[in-house]
Structure 1
Amino acid sequence: MMNRLILTYRPIPSKVSIQLPYSKSISNRLLIIQALAGDTFEIAHLSDADDTRVMAEAIRRYEEGFDVINVAEAGTAARFLTAYFALRAKPVILTGSGNLLRRPISALVNTLRSMGAMIEYLDTPDRLPLHFKGGQLHGGNIQINADISSQFVSALLMIAPMLPDPLNIHLINQEVSMPYVDLTIQCMRRCGAKARRLKNNMIEVDNSGYNFSGSIAMEPDWSSAAPWFAISALQPSSEFLLENLDMNSLQADKLLIEAFKPMGVVTTSTHEGLLLKWRGGVAKEMYFDFRNCPDIALSVIVTAAALNIDGVFANLSTLRFKETDRYQALKEQLLRLGIDCAGKPHEGLIIRNRASFPPSATIFTYHDHRMALAFAPLACIMDYLIILEPQVINKSYPSFWEHLGQIGIQLEYFD
């Protein structure tokens, strides 16, 4: 396995079209719904991200009767399958590896237990592995603290149509990223479920099952557009067409459009997709709230730092519970680049203007794909950039390094 990737930029002055990977967020939701619905519909163009492959394989192995399901470091699969296995009530052990075994899950487990699930921790409370020992789930009124992950809410929502009673969910913490919950509800409705979000932090789901047949086409992944927005901001001569990317998508990460406006990036919707250009007018200061789009936070903050923007960035607390502690990892790498940054997860992050970036740097990815995707665009303003563990991008955007080659970034792999 190649452990280092050296990126060297040799710009190609032309418009480049990029076919982004298909949405893993939608793919993973539809895989669960498809299994719950009894495979009554097909999914066209599933994401090729590792996370989606793990999800599909886990469902297949469970249906084939495997006693232990290992989802490696796929947090989405772990959360969605926790609710799915609780509903199915067949004895099974759900485990993983790496940092996933350190990510909290008790908020979801406790809620499922209150609904009738029999789930035990096999090692450490609040952590995988989990032993599902049966139990009959019921609906009714439940509360969940979703400040760690909106996926806890989404996991409960997707199984709700299959319960013997309607389910009413009360969210008791508003830190949750509601656009991701709305995306789940939209996927459910598309497949015939009846769900609605009310204004008082309540979500209602009827126990009417799923009712859909045919095929559902996937859309491109908005979070994977983040590095292309970054490169547009860092290289004014660049022009990218992100094929079939829709500004009307329900994916929360389309907030990239707003986040990169202060950095001079303008977007135009065309019949072919989304066109990115740099129009100038980079702001000296900016503020952005990531409550609804934490997955794009690293790319936005790193690019703002590279453009010497004084930035205040809010609602970053959920970054602590990702593939790594992204908040701490981000601060560490920015400080190594000489960026003046301060703050705490619950407060946000402040970065201050610096004169220039170093001519080269080595980026630690902490086994986290978002770290690689956020820092790689810096190769456009450096003599060279070294990315450690470059294979981490397979989790969400396997073709990213190949796509960088299309814009003139030379790739050299080393052990």
Structure 2
Amino acid sequence: MLLSNFDYGLDAVSRRLSRRWLDLDATSVLVILIRLVGRDVVQRAGDVVEECFDRLDEYHGYEVLVKGLMSVLAEVVEAIAADRDAQAPLQTGDAADKSHPRSMQGFLEWFTHRNDSNPSLDPDEDVGPVPQEAWGSPQQEEADATAPDPIETPPSTPTELLVQQIISRSLYFLTHDSRLIRARILTLLASAATVLPAALILPSIHHAWPFVLNRLADPEPFVVSAAATLIENLAIHFGDFMYGRIWDDVWPRFLYILRKLEMADSSNALSRRGPGAVGTESAYTHSHRLYRSLLRTMTAAIQGVQVKDDAVWDVIVAHRRFLHSEAHEELQSCARELYVRIGKKNEDAVWFALTATQDPLGGWTHLHEPQWNVTLNTELVLQNLRNT
């Protein structure tokens, strides 16, 4: 019944969002309605979104109301993102694979025959018909002139314009006093990154980038995790745009967070005990979730962003402890995936760092960490690289 007549429900709820009949419960009902019906209700939600923004402009100082309205807007974006994922699965490729070929066979073949002289052509050889006049014809030139530009940006759909409007008017709440609202906005932006093309979302991300970086220093760990998830999605979908931002802005902050968490774990009652222990026993602690977010974000950055050799070496060295057999299994799995991704770009660096962690190599004794048992995970990583 609801799915067949959702337009009546949408109209009834939208009336409760007007200034005259503003009802906080209407936001919760609208969230459930969008979640149940999905994209069909989103296509008719333009007026409701306008009502939400009008109420946000008028009552932005009321935290409870802002939370409800932002939940509605976030649910709209998530419904669009879920529908987009169902229609066209994400296809990503390693940004740096083309610039770092794994095989030198082509170069070796060229080097071997570089001085070979080309066989001279037989002047009597029949090379087939040749053109007797300039290429092209007036008709062909006219057709080429009227053909659409292949690099011209296609017009935006109404759904894309709706999402762009939502994110552009939500950026101001990244600095809201409520930690839940800050996290909600970051989650909204992360969902929008999977929906919008670069021309529609990147101007907003560029404008909000200083505030996103500030959220990496947020006192609430779940807000930091939400910011890391946003950066992960941006790295996957807009690698070229994120190149300088990842290595110059994000990675130094991630390194600081890793060191800060390491110091905090030393005094945490839930931390693992034993030589070289890493992280906590539970997978539900703030530090574990933050470790997981950082590992996944750096994996996405290695996959989607052109690598920077000096920074990648720091990434390799900083995350070795998560390969320790006493670390949580989920963190070990995330770390293995990270090192496999790095190994596809620079297998020698991964081999050297992980091998030197187990046994000193020459003068590189500073890499040796006898308290970490990384032998099994090192073998798994190197075996995976050999099989690819």
Q: Which has the higher contact order (CA 8 A, sep 6+)?
A: 1
Common fold by TM > 0.5? no
Higher share of residues assigned strand: 1
Please identify which structure carries the higher helix content.
2
TM-score computed with the length of structure 2 as normaliser: 0.24
Given the two structures, how large is their TM-score scaled by the length of structure 1? 0.23
